[in-house]
Amino acid sequence: MNSEIRDKNLLMSFGDKISSGEYIIHSRFRNSINFYYKEKLITLGNKKIGSGPSNIIFEKNFFDNIKKIIIFDNSFYLDNEKFTIEKEKIYSSDLIISNFETNSFYKNLKVFERYLKIFSKDRGLLPVIDENIENNKNFINNFTKRIYEGMNYLFNIDLIEGIRLIKGVGVGLTPSGDDFISGLLTALKVLEIINKENNSYLRKIIYDNAKGDNLISNNFLFYASEGLFFERTKKLILSLFYGNESEIVDSTLSILQIGETSGVDFSTGFLITLKKGGLYGSKRFN
């Protein structure tokens, strides 16, 4: 199959925030390969991964042996094979929300919380939603206790210290603490829309204090801080603003498919921040 046929039949989406450069392999997985150039990360994946600001998505896997990606303005190469970037294939990571009802959003948020608890079954960080967590039998991991301590700072004492306590906590491809902060940043963007108060500087401050040595975590944190969203996250947010119960269920199941517990941990940070209505002292950063 030549590249022209692949262009037309297999390329599903190209991230709108991918910049020019020569990217080399960072990590390989069943449905995707990550490549990096300096501090930038892009993901080459199949449709199971979903679109995103830094994702190149094909319908099927044929890229297992790809060693590098070279990005130009209107085309890219997988090793030596050229692909054109068609405008209609460029994914939009921007979130455009208008003509919404706040009461409807918070009603849908309760639906999301209910199904999140049903589907996640107290995996990951979800137990920290319980305000009486010390009495919860699942509150046994040191890293969960660290998250809970960080949450106390985030919402009651000092948000910057809270971020420092939470970031990098946990194990896995993206630590639970980083996923939690990505959810928190996403919630802040949603609150910006609901409250009509710009909090972009706050999100930048949080990102600057949350980023670390994990390039994959940094990638998710950066885009969340910029208010730019991957397909699953965007689908969830839109379902909360405009969806019915079945659409919320569908978007919840979709977000929970991310990683072993990454979807749960992201959702936990997202939900708690929305329920709290923001962070301690956050208005001084607006």
Examine the pLDDT at 4 and tell me if it is beyond 50: no
d(C-alpha 137, C-alpha 226), whole Å = 37
Q: What is the pLDDT of residues 7-55, one digit of tens each?
A: 445 899 999 999 999 999 999 998 999 999 999 999 999 999 999 999 9
| pLDDT tens digits, 222-232 | 999 999 999 99
Q: For 130-146, what is each residue's pLDDT tens digit?
A: 665 555 555 556 677 88
What per-residue confidence (pLDDT) applies to 61? 80
Convert the pLDDT of each residue in 154-209 to its tens digit. 988 899 999 999 999 987 789 999 999 999 999 999 999 999 999 999 999 999 99
The two structure tokens encoding residue 32: 């995707």
Q: Where are the beta strands (DSSP E) in the chain?
A: 11-15, 21-28, 32-37, 40-46, 55-58, 68-71, 75-78, 81-84, 90-91
Burial degree of 70 (CB within 10 A; 0-12, 13-18, 19+): middle
Report the predicted TM-score, pTM, of the whole model to 2 decimal places: 0.92
